[in-house]
Chains A and B, each alone.
Chain A
């Protein structure tokens, strides 16, 4: 499509896998929208999906995306709202197949096309890549991947907007990808609509920042917002963000009329700073954006204009998200009441540790926190007041030895009858023993991934 004078509206429908299930419905029903983007993937999500696929070859994607689409497909078709999502996880093919089926059930056969992007998965090519000299060193520690090769559970390259643009050009109404970057789900549609060149760094950087603002859902429209939070209206019906983007890349952050929440300079600024590193060097597959160039202006109620953004040439690398199995952990809680609640809780932790030591179990870490006192602000809060009415003991362990963590899990409830008095809050049962999927961020040269990316479009 060629450039146009009109603005393009891209709304956010999910800030993470498990976000408000009705938010996408509000986005498509309660006002005008051109694109709905939905981000389902966090750092550890891919490894969870890989495990699910190991048990069931048809699984491995954000399953709730499919019934959601069944619900909103007719409205999307009727109102020409196109959907772009990374719900495909480690099985975008399976997700697209289920989506076509959902479209048929929703009665939009012959009226919609599903675009599918594959090729970001590196798990099956991992040994080949290592042999070719791609060391996939950990970006934080510098260690080569070969040191943990046998523990790797999933490996995916973060891919940019190219394949999304291609799918939209081919007429896709819903685009399903694997590990697309969160921001590409917003700026991909913009590159397609406005025909931005792939070296139009300032405009693409604007799109990236629009994507960064969109990607956490209501976190820029009043959710988790610190400014006068007690005055934010109707938070039970929170409007999710919409960016109204102009061909020059500048945009207005807003939400549908009549929804709750608030969009102000401050609410947008908070989200801009979320998960930020060096603000002059925000690296994506398609551009490096400079967050110190962002200008914000309040231009109306719940309308913040964002402009002035500068970007520079992309690097030759893609980031790779690798998850590897790194032992086991569990966390249990018990509540101790006045008097001397903190002393009782700490004594209980001590007794538990002695029992585990006597059994000969080894842990890499045992951590004790008192919820209600120091579990979020740590040592900054000093010793608890003598008469604090209650604290919740929260004790966690981590070990390479699964049996040790399982035994720990069985030692919490017995403390109720065998430890310090005035204790309750154990009704939730034994703490769950969880496998730790650790994150290994790495870089790979683009040419090792990009030729493998495939875009297909299927009729519903």
Chain B
């Protein structure tokens, strides 16, 4: 087995409902969905975020989309206009979750190497706008 960051296995989108952030995690490859279900338990997510999430973590399964939806309660400093956080709407909790390390078979780790990150040396084209 090998430890890799979730960013190589899944993409994500997050948003807010009051003081709760939601994070949707979607497997890049359908065959990795079961791995996500096994590894991304609510307890492990709660542990990953530590003091950033003051309430409970709920998980919902969407096998039709190869996706999991997490509700992180008490994550947004009161939420909405109360919150003093830079990320008051929880927009970047998505990639905060993708930092997490998961355990996968060696061949999976090898197959997904570099996935989810810009290719080495990639820069936006500038041309006339330099």
Residues of A within 8 A of B (CB): 43-44, 140, 224, 226-227, 230, 266, 269-280, 291-296, 326, 329, 331, 365, 367, 369, 371, 375-380, 394, 396-398, 434, 436-439, 441
Contacts and interface: CB of A to CB of B under 8 A. Distances in A.
B82 A230 contact: no
B26 A270 contact: yes
B15 interface: yes
Is chain B's interface secondary structure helix, strand, loop, or mixed overall?
mixed
Nearest to A333: B86
Contact of A269 (B19, B22, B26, B82): B26
B113 to A, nearest CB: 15
Interface of B: 11-13, 15-19, 22, 24, 26, 28, 48-52, 60-67, 69, 71, 77, 79-82, 84-87, 92, 94-96, 99, 116, 118-119, 122, 124
A342 to B, nearest CB: 16
A291 B80 CA distance: 25
Contacts of B86: 369, 371, 375-376, 394
Contacts of B85: 367, 369, 375
Contact of B82 (A274, A294, A296, A438): A438
Contacts of A371: 86
B18 A273 contact: no
Residue in B16, B62, B99 with the greatest tally of chain A CB atoms within 10 Å? B62
Contact of B11 (A43, A227, A380, A438): A227
B68 to A, nearest CB: 9
Residue in A230, A326, A377, A397 with the greatest tally of chain B CB atoms within 10 Å? A377
Contact of B24 (A274, A294, A441): A274
A138 B96 CA distance: 30
Contacts of B50: 379-380
Nearest to A280: B60
Nearest to A271: B13
A398 to B, nearest CB: 6
A397 B81 contact: no
A437 B83 CA distance: 11
A144 B67 CA distance: 36
Contacts of B119: 230
B64 A270 contact: no
Residue in B16, B67, B71 with the greatest tally of chain A CB atoms within 10 Å? B67
B38 to A, nearest CB: 19
Nearest to B11: A226
Contacts of A377: 92, 95-96, 99
A329 B71 CA distance: 27
Contacts of A280: 60
A280 B61 CA distance: 10
Contact of A273 (B49, B63, B65, B122): B65
